[in-house]
Structure 1
Amino acid sequence: KQRQKNRRLTPIRAKVERPFAVLKRCYGWVRVRYVGLARNAAHLWQLRTAFNLQLVALRA
């Protein structure tokens, strides 16, 4: 029963977890860099923007 549930959820989980894996592996987003939520949110926004630009470049 658990395996069936995991097989159903695996494609969804892969789509959600892949961007985080790329951010961690390619962009070094392992720990937060700054003290404070605003700076860390801005840094994450920059990383996500770079990731999205990379996706656009690969698909073009």
Structure 2
Amino acid sequence: MSAGKKHGETQAKSQAETEAEKQHKERLDKALEEGLEETFPGSDPVNVTQPPHSPQDKDEI
């Protein structure tokens, strides 16, 4: 009976991971869509991620 319980726990974990991946993809899709809307029309491709701060940014903060 413990083997069935382990299988159920593994399956539940897989479903939770799949749901988390789906939510992550939806957030990325939403960010990309928002970026496209805000930059249209534009010649540069949309970048969903932000670049790291430069050392000069620390002086401005």
TM bin (shorter chain): 0.3 to 0.5
* Greater fraction of residues in helix: 1
Higher RCO (C-alpha 8 Å, min separation 6): 1
Larger radius of gyration: 2
